[in-house]
């Protein structure tokens, strides 16, 4: 079910100075579960800038994204991929073809993103996965400038070798892919998975964020760093 949050809500409040003329730039977060297993895509739109960014692209997500871009009068400038698993990339080629958006991802998942047929062989079924050309390979500590904000990249392997967190300090928000969920963590039994590595990633790269940081996972509801540190049964704080 589509959900939209405006910056006026505490869930996605971006602390910004007023622009000349006294106007505050506003931003919306659209939560768009899509694809066969309802993977969360996150669309950030900044109507006053006329720009938008999509985080992950599950199957058929373009059908959800297109009308929002039209409604908010925004152009999709970038697609950020949290990791290369098929359910997060299945709709990526369609999004890029329709918008020309630049794609960002971590190089450790290059094979899955550029040659997705390897996942079809592993899954044992045809999923009509299409390769995606990545325009910028990001790594631990990189900073992305988008929608008037600085976004920090944090590498969190364990679920998938190239899983990254996109952390927006000004918005107190972290988009974590499948590393951490509300009350759970990503599975580690897939190729390249390791629970020991995932646990270390969560402790060092996610639990080191402020407790008030809202965690937006690849599946299910959002949570906070503080809540997971206190109650997560797999990785405690």
Q: Which pLDDT band holds residue 4 (cuts at 50, 70, 90)?
A: low
pLDDT at 160 over 80: yes
pLDDT at 175: 98
pLDDT given at position 121: 67
Examine the pLDDT at 174 and tell me if it is beyond 70: yes
User: Which of these ranges, 14-18, 24-28, 40-44, 66-70, has the smallest mean pLDDT?
Assistant: 14-18
pLDDT band at 195 (very low <50, low <70, confident <90, very high): very high
Instruction: Give the integer Cα–Cα distance in Å for 218 and 82.
Output: 9
Q: Would you call 75 helix, strand, or coil by DSSP?
A: strand
pLDDT band at 129 (very low <50, low <70, confident <90, very high): confident
- Residue 124 confidence (pLDDT): 57
**CA 207 centroid distance within chain:** 17
Domains and CATH numbers, the chain: 3-231 (3.60.15.10)
pLDDT at 11 over 50: no
Residue 106 pLDDT level (bands cut at 50, 70, 90): very high
Q: Tell me how many degrees the CA angle 235-236-237 measures, rounded to the nearest 5.
A: 125
Is residue 232 pLDDT above 60, yes or no? yes
Indicate the average pLDDT of the chain.
89
Find residue 144's DSSP bridge partners. 151
pTM for the model: 0.90
pLDDT category, 158, cuts 50, 70, 90? very high
| Per-residue pLDDT tens over the stretch 25-60 | 578 999 999 999 999 999 999 999 999 999 999 999
List beta partners, residue 105: 137
Q: Backbone dihedral region of 196: left (phi > 0), alpha (psi from -120 to 50 degrees) or beta?
A: alpha
């Amino acid at each position: 079910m589509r959900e939209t949050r405006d910056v006026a809500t505490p869930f996605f409040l971006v602390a910004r100075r007023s622009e000349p003329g006294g106007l505050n730039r506003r931003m919306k977060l659209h939560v768009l579960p899509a694809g066969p297993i309802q993977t969360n895509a996150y669309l950030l739109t900044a109507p006053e800038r006329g720009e938008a960014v999509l985080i992950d692209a599950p199957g058929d997500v373009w059908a959800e994204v297109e009308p929002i871009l039209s409604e908010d009068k925004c152009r999709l400038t970038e697609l950020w991929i949290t990791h290369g698993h098929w359910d997060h990339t299945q709709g990526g080629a369609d999004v890029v073809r329709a918008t020309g958006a630049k794609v960002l991802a971590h190089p450790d998942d290059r094979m899955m993103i550029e040659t997705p047929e390897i996942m079809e062989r592993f899954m044992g079924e045809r999923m009509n996965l299409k390769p995606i050309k990545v325009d910028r390979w990001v790594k631990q500590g990189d900073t992305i400038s988008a929608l008037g904000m600085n976004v920090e990249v944090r590498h969190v392997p364990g679920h998938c070798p190239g899983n990254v967190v996109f952390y927006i300090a000004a918005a107190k928000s972290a988009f974590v892919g499948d590393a951490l969920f509300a009350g759970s963590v990503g599975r580690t039994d897939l190729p390249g998975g390791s629970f020991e590595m995932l646990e270390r990633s969560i402790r060092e790269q996610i639990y080191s964020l402020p407790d008030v940081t809202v965690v937006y996972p690849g599946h299910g509801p959002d949570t906070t760093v503080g809540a997971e540190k206190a109650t997560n049964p797999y990785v405690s704080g």
